[in-house]
Amino acid sequence: MNILNKKEREKIFELFLNNNKLKFNEIEKNLDIRSNMVSYHLEQMVKENILEKKEMYYYLTKEAETYIPIFQHIVGKELSPLPVVLIATIKDDKIVMVKRNKRPYKNYWSMIGGKMLFDETIEEASIRQVKRKTSLDAKFISTNHILHEMVDDNGVKHSFILFFVKVSVESNEIKDSDVGELKWFSLEEIKEEETIPSDYWLIKNKLDSIIDIDNAQMKDIDGRLKEFKII
């Protein structure tokens, strides 16, 4: 969201956290800058599809609305744990593991995993990550556990919410990818000292667990939440 690389634009965006629409003079009185600079920043935000103007009012665009829950994170005022799918990819009682070539956890073996996209379910994210990182087509089996993992280094430097899931694949033909070396392991072959500790714990303790996670959806219609449903 490069349009918020100016403090003035951060302040303008922040005004819309409490207001659905604002007039120019309402924005101007909350900023300690000249009116011509207010006009400049508003014009730039309209060009970048952050704001739209309808008659006398400015509104956040539909795209910009998606940033409201993570605004403090975007501008660096606070950080939140990162949700990640961590996938036990199974065939013939073996799990495909990757030797990570990037930080964090470089040179440790881990399960296939990665971030969820904005509009994905856990199941969709899991299937996509396995396909992207192993070229294998996966069938989703279950969500097994949720683990909040934090790494301490004189203070928390990494924080993840791990959605541990299980999938099956029909083929065992894997190719190394940009994430690192791929290899099949039996449960007995996985070495604790060479594996990310949380991955090792989940494999040893939660591989056969199952939990329910429902996917819910609702619509925002003119500022009112309607049509809630489990999907």
Q: With CA atoms as reference, report the closest residue to 58 among 29, 30, 20.
A: 20
Is the pTM above the cut of 0.85?
Answer: no
- Provide the CB-side half-sphere exposure for 113 (13 A, CA): 24
Q: Copy the structure tokens of residue 166.
A: 């299980």
The predicted-structure confidence for 73-92, as pLDDT tens digits, reads as follows 888 778 889 999 999 999 99
The answer to whether the CB of 130 falls within 8 A of the CB of 87 is: yes
List the chain pLDDT tens, one digit each, 231 residues. Answer: 455 668 899 999 999 999 999 999 999 999 988 999 999 999 999 999 999 999 999 999 999 999 998 888 888 778 889 999 999 999 999 999 999 999 999 999 999 999 999 999 999 999 999 999 999 999 999 999 999 999 999 999 999 999 999 999 999 999 878 889 999 999 999 999 999 999 999 999 999 999 999 999 999 998 899 999 999
Q: What is the C-alpha radius of gyration for the chain, rounded to an integer number of angstroms?
A: 23
CA–CA distance, 138 with 119 (Å, rounded to integer): 19
Please name the residues in contact with 220: beta carbons below 8 A apart, sequence gap of 6 or more: 226
Domains within the chain, CATH numbers bracketed: 2-72 (1.10.10.10), 82-206 (3.90.79.10)
Chain centroid to CA 212: how far? 20
